[in-house]
Amino acid sequence: MNMLFGLKNQYSNDFDDGEHPLNEYYIQGFRGNRNPNSPFRRIVNGSIAEDRESLKASIMSTEYENETNNGQDEDFQILTGHTSDVNSVDISSNSQFIVSGSNDSTVRIWKLNEDGTYGESTQDPPFISPITEHSYGVNCVRFSPFSTILATASTDGKIILWSTQTGKENFTLYHPSENAIRCLAFSPNSELLATGSDDETCCIWDLRTRLLLKCLRGPETMITSIIFTNDSLNIIAGSSNGDLWYWQASGLAIGKKLSFVPQAHDLGVSSLDFSNGYQSATSSNDSLIRTYIMASAGNDDLIKIWLVKYCQIKSDIKLLNVLKGHESNVNCVKFSSNGDMLVSASGDKTIKIWNVAKGQIMKQHSQHTRFATCVTFSNDDRKVISGSNDRSLVVWEMDKDEDKLKHNLEENEESPEEEREPSNSESRKAELKVQNTINNLKTNTNQVSHWTKEQVISWLKTLDLEDCVEIFEANEIDGLELLHLTHDSLQLNLRIDSLGKRNKILRAIQSLKNPFWQHLSLLTDENLSLPEECYCPITHEFMIDPVVAFDGYSYEKAAIQEWFKKGNNTSPMTNELLSSNQLLPNHTLKLLIKKYLASD
Mean pLDDT value across residues 154-165: 94
Burial profile 481-518: b = 16 or more Cβ within 10 angstroms, e = fewer: bbeebeeeebeeebebeeeeebeebeebbebbeebebb
Question: Would you list the domain boundaries of the chain?
Answer: 2-71, 445-517, 530-599
Contacts 24+ apart (CB under 8 A), 587-590: 589/533, 589/534, 589/543, 589/546, 589/554, 590/545, 590/546
Looking at the DSSP bridge assignments, the partners of residue 291 are: 280, 309
Q: Is the pLDDT of residue 5 over 90?
A: no
Q: Is 399 exposed, middle or buried (0-12, 13-18, 19+ CB in 10 A)?
A: exposed
CA–CA distance, 380 with 396 (Å, rounded to integer): 13
Q: Is the pLDDT of residue 21 over 60?
A: no
Q: Is the pLDDT of residue 475 over 50?
A: yes
pTM: 0.64
Range with top average pLDDT, 278-282, 365-369, 449-453, 527-531: 365-369
Q: Which residues contact 382 (CB under 8 A, 6 or more apart)?
A: 95, 397, 398, 399, 402
Concatenated DSSP letters of 552-585: S-EEEHHHHHHHHHTT--B-TTT-PBPS----EE
The amino acid sitting at 351 is I
Mean pLDDT value across residues 94-113: 95
The reported pLDDT for the residue numbered 580 is: 86
CA neighbor of 278 nearest in space, from 510, 513, 448, 439: 439
Burial profile 91-127: b = 16 or more Cβ within 10 angstroms, e = fewer: bbeebebbbbbbbbbbbbbbbbeeeebbebbeeeebb
Looking at the DSSP bridge assignments, the partners of residue 354 are: 342, 361
Neighbours of 262 (CB within 10 A): 9
CA–CA distance, 399 with 119 (Å, rounded to integer): 19
Range with top average pLDDT, 306-315, 506-515, 522-531: 306-315
The reported pLDDT for the residue numbered 388 is: 96
CA–CA distance, 344 with 376 (Å, rounded to integer): 8
CA neighbor of 109 nearest in space, from 162, 61, 146, 64: 162
Confidence of residue 251 (pLDDT cuts 50, 70, 90): confident
Mean pLDDT value across residues 174-189: 92
pLDDT tens for 262-294 read 999 988 999 999 998 666 655 555 557 788 899
Least confident of 172-176, 273-277, 408-412, 583-587: 408-412
Q: Is 81 exposed, middle or buried (0-12, 13-18, 19+ CB in 10 A)?
A: buried
Q: Is 530-599 a domain of CATH 3.40.50.12280?
A: no
| Residue 588: strand, helix, or coil | helix
CA–CA distance, 55 with 69 (Å, rounded to integer): 24
Per the CB < 8 A criterion, the answer to whether 332 and 373 are in contact is: yes
Per the CB < 8 A criterion, the answer to whether 281 and 519 are in contact is: yes
pLDDT above 70: percentage of residues in the chain: 72
The reported pLDDT for the residue numbered 58 is: 37
The reported pLDDT for the residue numbered 279 is: 63
pLDDT above 90: percentage of residues in the chain: 40
The reported pLDDT for the residue numbered 17 is: 40
pLDDT tens for 222-236 read 999 999 998 889 999
| Residue 97: strand, helix, or coil | strand
pLDDT tens for 312-335 read 778 899 999 999 999 999 999 999
Looking at the DSSP bridge assignments, the partners of residue 226 are: 237
Q: Is the pLDDT of residue 507 over 60?
A: yes
445-517: which CATH topology? DNA polymerase; domain 1 (1.10.150)
**Measured between alpha carbons, how far is residue 72 from residues 66, 78, 438, 560 in Å?**
10, 17, 31, 58
Q: Is the pLDDT of residue 525 over 60?
A: no
Mean pLDDT value across residues 87-97: 94
Mean pLDDT value across residues 127-133: 93
Neighbours of 42 (CB within 10 A): 16
The amino acid sitting at 169 is E
Torsion of CA 410, 415, 419, 425, to 10 degrees: 100
CA–CA distance, 393 with 100 (Å, rounded to integer): 8
Confidence of residue 502 (pLDDT cuts 50, 70, 90): confident
Mean pLDDT value across residues 439-443: 51
CA–CA distance, 427 with 421 (Å, rounded to integer): 14
Helix spans in 412-486 (H): 426-441, 445-449, 453-462, 469-474, 479-483
Q: Which residues contact 23 (CB under 8 A, 6 or more apart)?
A: 80, 81, 82, 83, 391, 392
Looking at the DSSP bridge assignments, the partners of residue 245 are: 237, 260
Q: Is the pLDDT of residue 242 over 90?
A: yes
CA–CA distance, 362 with 343 (Å, rounded to integer): 10
Q: What angle do CA 223, 224, 225 make, to 5 degrees?
A: 105
Q: Is the pLDDT of residue 149 over 90?
A: yes
The reported pLDDT for the residue numbered 134 is: 96
CA–CA distance, 276 with 265 (Å, rounded to integer): 23
**Better-scored residue on pLDDT, 69 or 386:** 386
Label each residue of 342-380 as H, E or C.
EEEEECCCCEEEEECCCCEEEEEECCCCCCEEEEEECCC
The amino acid sitting at 458 is S
